[in-house]
Structure 1
Amino acid sequence: MAKREMRTFDITKLKTRDATENEPPKITGYAAVFNSKTSIGDFFEEIIEPGAFARSLSENGDIRALFNHNWDNVLGRTKSGTLYLQEDERGLKFEIELPNTSLGRDLAESMQRGDINQCSFGFWIEDAGKETWDYSVEPALRTIHEVELFEVSIVSLPAYDDTEAALVRSKEIDKEVEQRIKLINQIKGVLGNE
């Protein structure tokens, strides 16, 4: 039987909705970024390949967005149209239409303050053919080719640093997130050369 796993990422680039708008607040960003190596508990490194979510997204019509991986705290759902998931060339993109509940309002406030700024996704790998391990490097490198996605979550502990999410008011977030990722990569390049 496949073991459930969860991965957590930093989310940044917060924008708030104007109070005069009639749309509910939304959180958008990337729950996973392809080809971004990360350390998993100092035990091994992991890379998610492009296409890893494609089959799961096409076959699983009922994925949930949660707060802190808690199934009692549902923020959105693909089946109801309040969670939108799409795999693009960069990674697993999501948009959550927050509910007008105390949880939704509290989360929006915590994100505005900067107290909550990470996201995560829960998955399992059905068989060994969907992942490969390279033990010739230290630490070992796991490459994920295909996952069964069952949830994305807004959380408080990071594992991957390259994902982003934001409370937004317009589609301009795509341009701003892209600019921020470029800036982060430039900074990492400069710091890596010291």
Structure 2
Amino acid sequence: MECRALQIELRAAGSNPRKLEGYAATFGVETRIGDFVETIRVGAFAASLASGRDIIALSDHDATRVLGRTKSGTLRLSEDTRGLQFSLDLPDTTAARDLLALAERGDLGGASFGFKAQDEKWSGNRRELRAIELHEISIVQSWPAYSNTKVEARGRLSAEAPHAGLSRTLNKWRP
């Protein structure tokens, strides 16, 4: 299984205090993976999403830190023209509380996804992912690979959260 991490944008607002929303992958964005450049074609996740298979949301690809899953309805996934969109209802666990606190501060590194390529096209050192078997998405704390993705922390506006409603774009670190 391969994993890809993505840059995120954070916006804290709304009425659900324990929800993350955004894009786990974006289409047509070039990213360098080792010695090759990769892009994802529009519609690459369609067959995987239509299959009805259970897809999980994790913290940092750690299977012991489950945040939600499609089977239970706590993770909702869909494709649009921009990419793979997600909505995640966070559980009341230590891992989820920690992630939410990092999201509210603007400290998260990005979103990521674990997959197997079902259809890909290689041209020299360029790879286009045409069909992806999606296994999981993850909220990661550092070093995204793909840019132009988005995660929003949804929470109540309150005196305890004076910056709720503000938008921050996190800077991508590259070695």
Range into which the TM-score falls when normalised by the shorter chain: 0.7 to 0.9
Q: Which amino acid aligns with 2:153?
A: L
C-alpha deviation, 1:162, in angstroms? 1.1
Q: Paired residue for 1:39, among 32, 44, 49?
A: 32
Instruction: Judge conservation of contact 1:124–1:148 (CA < 8 Å) in 2.
Output: yes
Instruction: Judge conservation of contact 1:16–1:112 (CA < 8 Å) in 2.
Output: no
Instruction: Judge conservation of contact 1:24–1:99 (CA < 8 Å) in 2.
Output: no
1:166 to 2:118 alignment: no
1:56 to 2:44 alignment: no
Q: What do you get for the CA RMSD once the two structures are aligned? A: 1.9
| Deviation digits for residues 127-168 of structure 1 (CA, Å, limit 9, x no counterpart) | xxx101111xxxx11011001000000012210011111102
Q: Which amino acid aligns with 1:91?
A: G
3-state SS of paired residue (1:147): strand
Distance 1:16 1:111 in 2: 12
Distance 2:59 2:13 in 1: 19
3-state SS of paired residue (2:92): coil
Could you tell me which residue of structure 2 aligns to residue 65 of structure 1?
Answer: 57
3-state SS of paired residue (1:104): helix
3-state SS of paired residue (2:131): coil
Taking CA–CA contacts closer than 8 Å with sequence separation of 6 or more, which of the two structures ends up with the larger relative contact order?
A: 2
3-state SS of paired residue (2:9): coil
Distance 1:6 1:63 in 2: 14
Structure 1 residue runs of 5 or longer lacking an equivalent are 171-175, 181-194
Distance 1:52 1:5 in 2: 15
TM-score, scaled to structure 2: 0.84
Higher strand share: 2
Distance 1:169 1:85 in 2: 20
Could you tell me which residue of structure 1 aligns to residue 11 of structure 2?
Answer: 14
Q: Paired residue for 2:80, among 51, 68, 88?
A: 88
Could you tell me which residue of structure 2 aligns to residue 191 of structure 1?
Answer: none
Distance 2:12 2:90 in 1: 14
| Deviation digits for residues 17-72 of structure 1 (CA, Å, limit 9, x no counterpart) | 5xxx5x4511111111111111112x110110011000000114310000000010
C-alpha deviation, 1:16, in angstroms? 4.7
C-alpha deviation, 1:93, in angstroms? 0.2
| Deviation digits for residues 64-90 of structure 1 (CA, Å, limit 9, x no counterpart) | 000000010000100000000001111
- Equivalence map 1:104-183=2 (5 Å): 104-126=96-118, 130-135=119-124, 140-155=125-140, 156-169=142-155
C-alpha deviation, 1:100, in angstroms? 1.2
Q: Which amino acid aligns with 1:107?
A: L
Distance 1:109 1:169 in 2: 11
Higher helix share: 1
Name the % identity.
45
Structure 2 residue runs of 5 or longer lacking an equivalent are 157-165, 170-175
Aligned length: 158
Runs of 4+ that moved beyond 6 A: none
| Deviation digits for residues 93-147 of structure 1 (CA, Å, limit 9, x no counterpart) | 0011010112111110011112213110000024xxx101111xxxx11011001
